[in-house]
Structure 1
Amino acid sequence: MDLRVYKDKQEVAEQFSNYFAEKVNKAETFHVALSGGSTPKIVFDVLAQNFSEKIAWKNIHFYWGDERCVPPTDEQSNYKMTVEHLFSKIAVPQENIHRILGENDPNREALRYANLLEINLDRVEDVPQFDLVILGMGDDGHTASIFPHEIELWNAQDHCVVATHPDTGQKRVSINGKVINMAKEVAFLVTGSSKAEKVKAISEKTEGFEAYPASLVNPKSGNLIWFLDEKAAFGLSKN
């Protein structure tokens, strides 16, 4: 694990944006899976404000690692958040945006999106391969929409799965662990003191850490970076 610790959310967003721009501008075509959440929202703001003219947006194809089963106009939609904070402010071709249709039947949509990934992405060992998967981590150690109570979905046969939020019962469509771990690169964006306990458990492999889906992120490429703020990294041993 490459752990990179920065002062606060804003610095995490700025450093990740620099990293993202460098990756993208080296590639003719770049396929990225986006994450929802508060930290990506700040990242999108930084990208829109500081990189709108510095990134070849036409070369990037955007996907989502997961999406809530709500319409694209709903405040909970990851797609809506990305439009408001990024897509509406940059010159990205509409055909480069491949959203999960959260308004559709979840099971059918999981099949459709898995098929889309299989068509659009190169496949390695029969698994679609992203250039980059961006992940967040919940307070419970979940990532994408693979929650601890459904950790078996990580190794599901289908490349996209239907997950259920443990508290609200809300359905979500998510890529599975095989797709995450086949990516050329995986980057976690994790900020805030509520994440510190799980960050420590996963990075230091303390007892019971395997119960957290985020601990299963181990890309075959070996390219795994955690972008953390000081609050999320609190408690990590200094070495």
Structure 2
Amino acid sequence: MELKVYKDKQEVAEQFSTYFKEKANSGEFHVALSGGSTPKIVFDVLAEKFSDEIDWSKIHFYWGDERCVPPTDDDSNYKMTVEHLFSKIEVPEANIHRVLGENDPSGEAMRYANLLEINLDRIEGIPQFDLVILGMGDDGHTASIFPHEIGLWNAEDHCVVATHPDSGQKRVSINGKVINTAKEVAFLVTGDSKAEKVKAVLGKTAGSEVYPASLVNPTSGNLVWFLDEDAATGLSPNP
């Protein structure tokens, strides 16, 4: 595991964008995107500073999770990505593989799992992304696997239907097996509201296993955490 701590959210976004460019310019590249405030800034930086430095025709975009809403809804991770990235770069429409949030959640989870099986190489039957980008919620959830549904982590199906614990909103999410099969996994975590869970997950403190983020452990060994100083508060220099 590699830990990278930067001054603030903006610097995290800039450093991650450089990292992404290096990874993505290695040939055909399949990446699972994350929603949230930090990826939004990452997309802005990629569009503004790296649009001409990345061969977007080689990158295939997917989502690690998506809210079950239409693509025009403000809650849609796809809509956010279009506004902050796709609308500003030259990327082939055929390279954008969105979760159809407007469809029946169970049927869509099955369709998306099948899409991943078709498009990605498989390791012991599990689709393998080149990179999975993850965030972490204040409750320790990642993708859309929440603590109250942690059993979905090892679900048989590659994609699952999750339920937000407060709003009840349905979401389609890749499961933990797909996350941990990726060639590389990168966390983007910023803000002091995340500090407590960051400390628990990285320090493997007693009880931290109830947080889905603590289960991220790619078999490749390639796990990178991009944190700002606020999120890293409480970490020892060498966690």
Q: TM-score, normalised by structure 1?
A: 0.99
The AA in structure 2 aligned to 1:170 is Q
Other-structure match for 2:23: 23
Instruction: Find the aligned partners of 1:180 and 1:212 in 2 and give their Cα distance.
Output: 15
SS at match of 2:199: helix
Report deviation, 1:34. Answer: 0.1
Other-structure match for 1:8: 8
Instruction: Find the aligned partners of 2:115 and 2:199 in 1 and give their Cα distance.
Output: 36
* 1:15-49 superposed Cα distances (whole Å, 9 cap, x missing partner): 000000001112x2000000000000000000000
Instruction: Find the aligned partners of 2:204 and 2:175 in 1 and give their Cα distance.
Output: 22
The AA in structure 2 aligned to 1:174 is S
Instruction: Find the aligned partners of 1:44 and 1:205 in 2 and give their Cα distance.
Output: 31
The AA in structure 2 aligned to 1:8 is D
Report deviation, 1:238. Answer: 1.6
Report deviation, 1:100. Answer: 0.1
* 1:58-78 superposed Cα distances (whole Å, 9 cap, x missing partner): 000000000000000000000
Report deviation, 1:140. Answer: 0.1
Other-structure match for 2:42: 43
Report deviation, 1:181. Answer: 0.1
Other-structure match for 2:64: 65
SS at match of 2:60: strand
The AA in structure 2 aligned to 1:124 is I
Other-structure match for 2:51: 52
Other-structure match for 1:208: 207
The AA in structure 2 aligned to 1:158 is D
SS at match of 1:144: coil
Other-structure match for 1:112: 111
Report deviation, 1:207. Answer: 1.0
Q: TM-score, normalised by structure 2?
A: 0.99
Other-structure match for 2:179: 180
Instruction: Find the aligned partners of 2:215 and 2:205 in 1 and give their Cα distance.
Output: 14
Instruction: Find the aligned partners of 2:237 and 2:144 in 1 and give their Cα distance.
Output: 31
Instruction: Find the aligned partners of 1:130 and 1:237 in 2 and give their Cα distance.
Output: 32
The ranges of structure 1 where at least 4 consecutive aligned residues each deviate by more than 2 angstroms after the TM superposition are none
Q: How does 1:65-214 map to 2 (within 5 A)?
A: 65-214=64-213
CA RMSD of aligned residues (A): 0.4
The AA in structure 1 aligned to 2:86 is F
Report deviation, 1:111. Answer: 0.1
Report deviation, 1:224. Answer: 0.1
Instruction: Find the aligned partners of 2:78 and 2:232 in 1 and give their Cα distance.
Output: 29
Other-structure match for 1:238: 237
Instruction: Find the aligned partners of 2:237 and 2:31 in 1 and give their Cα distance.
Output: 32
Instruction: Find the aligned partners of 1:40 and 1:95 in 2 and give their Cα distance.
Output: 22
The AA in structure 2 aligned to 1:181 is N
How many pairs were matched up? 238
The AA in structure 2 aligned to 1:101 is L
Unaligned runs of 5+ in 1: none
Report deviation, 1:125. Answer: 0.6
User: Identical aligned pairs, as a percentage?
Assistant: 82
The AA in structure 1 aligned to 2:170 is K
